[in-house]
Amino acid sequence: MTNARAGRLYVVATPIGNLGDLSVRARDTLQASNLIAAEDTRHTGALLKHFGIQTPLVSLHEHNELERAPELVSRMQNGAAISLVSDAGTPGISDPGFDLVRAAAAAGLDIIAIPGPCAALAALSIAGLPTDRFCFEGFLPARRAARRTRLTELAPEPRTLVFYESPHRVREMLEDCALGLGSARPAAVAREITKLHETLYRGSLSQLAARAAAEADFARGEIVVVAAGAAPDEDTGGGADGHGGALDRVLKPLLAELPLKQAAHLAAQIAAVGGNEAYKRALQLKQAYGAP
């Protein structure tokens, strides 16, 4: 066996579009493994066929991972070399894999990374935003109110933020980012990385939201959104509301859903602050972020 030793788990990254990105080491490992645990066996089957790899496949997806992990661990304990792959990119990164890795670690098995493509890191590396410290947020909540609450919580975060998003939600997601993180925040949207229609859009969050609304192609294909972190002097509501950000955290999502007066009234009750104060702050926020 060239590259896959018995009784080990190999966590193998696969291409996020361009098949040329499957590393030689990944190919050798997949070839030499006894079994490949794949998120979707048909999808990975096509990849293996392309590379002439005949290793058997077993499915490991979010609905069967917990129950299948012990069985795979026992096969590795009995000497099998197993590779773990997802549909694209690095397993475990907004993809199945964590439960199997955890079970293998608990059993004391060797776990070897075969690193390669990851859309989040690829987008970050070309976004032109600070890369020294960053925060991977994966997918934001699909429901708008929950997404806005999460973004309001993230507003004071100084590290660069990296999000995955599905194309049918990216327009409203960017609107919410402009509202929650600040419309002037520099950001980038990387679309279809490594593929034919690869495009990188740069601009402020409000400019990107406007482009997403105006250009049909913007919301086609796979997308990563990268947003700058809060600047040191940026007012993200952390102190400007006079309550350490607690009032803003409640007010912002309410303002997005309700008339100003009603939002201020509810926020005053939830954050336990005076009604006039909440109303004044609501007016300030509305002026700063515009009508949601």
By C-beta, is 18 or 74 nearer to ligand SAM? 18
Q: Which helix (H) or strand (E) holds 261?
A: helix 260-271
Q: How far apart are the C-alpha atoms of 180 and 249, rounded to whole Å?
A: 9
- Nearest approach in angstroms of CB 286 to ligand SAM is 31
- Per the CB < 8 A criterion, the answer to whether 280 and 274 are in contact is no
- Of 111 and 270, which has the nearer Cβ to ligand SAM? 111
Which residue number has the CB closest to ligand SAM?
89
Is 3 in contact with 21 (CB distance < 8 Å)?
A: no
Q: Which residues contact 77 (CB under 8 A, 6 or more apart)?
A: 7, 107, 109
Nearer to ligand SAM, 162 or 267 (CB): 162
Between 21 and 248, CB nearer to ligand SAM: 21
Distance between CA atoms of 94 and 104, rounded to whole angstroms?
Answer: 19
Nearer to ligand SAM, 165 or 175 (CB): 165
Shortest Å, Cβ 213 to ligand SAM: 19
Size of the chain, expressed as the number of residues it contains = 292
DSSP 8-state class, residue 140: P
Tokens of 160: 């660069």
Residue 116, burial from CB neighbour count under 10 angstroms (0-12, 13-18, 19+): middle
Integer Cα distance of 117 and 62 in angstroms: 21
Residue 82 C-beta: closest distance to ligand SAM, Å: 18
Burial 204-229, CB ≥16 within 10 A → b, else e: bbbbbbbbbeeeeebbebbbbbbbbb
**In angstroms, what is the minimal distance from the CB of 16 to ligand SAM?**
4
Give the nearest distance from C-beta 258 to ligand SAM in angstroms.
31
CB nearer to ligand SAM: give 222 or 241: 222
Residues 250 and 244 sit within 8 Å (Cβ to Cβ): no
Nearer to ligand SAM, 78 or 143 (CB): 143
Residue 272 Cβ vs ligand SAM, minimum distance, rounded to whole Å: 39
Binding site for ligand SAM (CB under 6 A): 16-17, 86, 88-90, 93-95, 118-120, 164-166, 190, 192-195, 222-224
CA distance 137 to 154: 10
Q: Are 59 and 41 in contact (CB under 8 A)?
A: yes
Indicate the residue among 203 and 238 with the shorter CB distance to ligand SAM.
203
Q: Which amino acid appears at position 205 of this protein?
A: L
Query: In whole angstroms, how close is the CB of 34 to ligand SAM at the nearest point?
Result: 24
Report, in Å, the least distance between residue 209 CB and ligand SAM: 17
